[in-house]
Structure 1
Amino acid sequence: MNKTIITLIAVAIMLTACNSKGEDKNNNEVTEKNEQLSQTEGGQEVRQENDQNQSNESSNHEESTSLPEYNNIIEQIDNKEFNFQTITDNEGKRVLLLIDKNGVEQYKSIYIKYTNRLKIIKINGEGLIFNEIIEGK
């Protein structure tokens, strides 16, 4: 699904950037082919997307385990399996969403890098469940 959206956005950008009629004709042909592909989401295309999602989840998990706040987060959420989605990661703070296997956002973590303060919020329920300074790397 995301691949289709990205493709359509890229095609739209290419169409608006073209000025000559010949280029517009070629881009229209590309757009039609992309629309046909998105409409016929058959076997191999779906398999490639699933393989890509599994690869992204694996690399996402590896990146998450290397974070200084990872162990504290896992302790607070009872070691349940979640996908980590980075919302913000800059010099001052990192904000992560923890999403369950059904795609529902369950927790939000905020790690303040300068002070090593970690806050964990249960999105649908208890609210703030952890707010402490942790040992950083």
Structure 2
Amino acid sequence: MKKTVTTIIIVAVLIAAGSATYGLVSADHVKEPQLNEQNKIVEVDEVDVQDPSTVQTYPEKEILAEKGYADYSVNVVEDNPNKRIIVLQDENGKNRVKSIYIKKTNRLKVIEFDKGLIFNEVI
């Protein structure tokens, strides 16, 4: 009788543990909400970070032009309240430069894929 009760308890615990983890979602698949100027939540898909007029207003655009990347095409990879990541491509479409702008500290890091870190300052 003890074996039967013990077996039933073990099976019940395993079933309960399995159903508790069934609905969990990993953090990799969760979208963080973004805030617009009025601090209202905006869906990530609604933000048009590829708009050329928006890209021209970025503070890091001036530094990138000074470094000789004005003719490269701009691909905004990420733009959220904390940081903005831009990848610059040459005329052949090859990724050449990565720009990481930390908004809270106004720090800009520019990384050439061939040479490594070439700029790391507060702007």
**Is TM (by shorter chain) over 0.5?**
yes
TM-superposed CA distance for 1:62, in Å, is 2.8
Measure the CA separation in 2 of the matches of 1:60 and 1:84: 10
TM-score normalised over the length of structure 2: 0.56
Give every structure 1 segment of 4 or more consecutive aligned residues whose post-TM-superposition deviation is greater than 2 Å: 59-63
Q: Secondary structure at the match of 2:55?
A: helix
Larger Rg: 2
What is the RMSD of the two structures over their aligned residues, measured on CA atoms?
1.4
Higher strand share: 2
Residue 88 of structure 1, aligned match among 74, 78, 88: 78
TM-score normalised over the length of structure 1: 0.51
Whether contact under 8 Å (2:64, 2:70) holds in the other structure is: no
The reply on whether 1:127 has 2:116 as its aligned counterpart is: yes
Measure the CA separation in 2 of the matches of 1:73 and 1:90: 20
Whether contact under 8 Å (1:118, 1:131) holds in the other structure is: yes
Higher helix share: 1
**Structure 1: segments with no counterpart, 5+ residues:** 1-58
Identical aligned residues as a percent = 41
**Structure 2: segments with no counterpart, 5+ residues:** 1-49
TM-superposed CA distance for 1:112, in Å, is 0.1
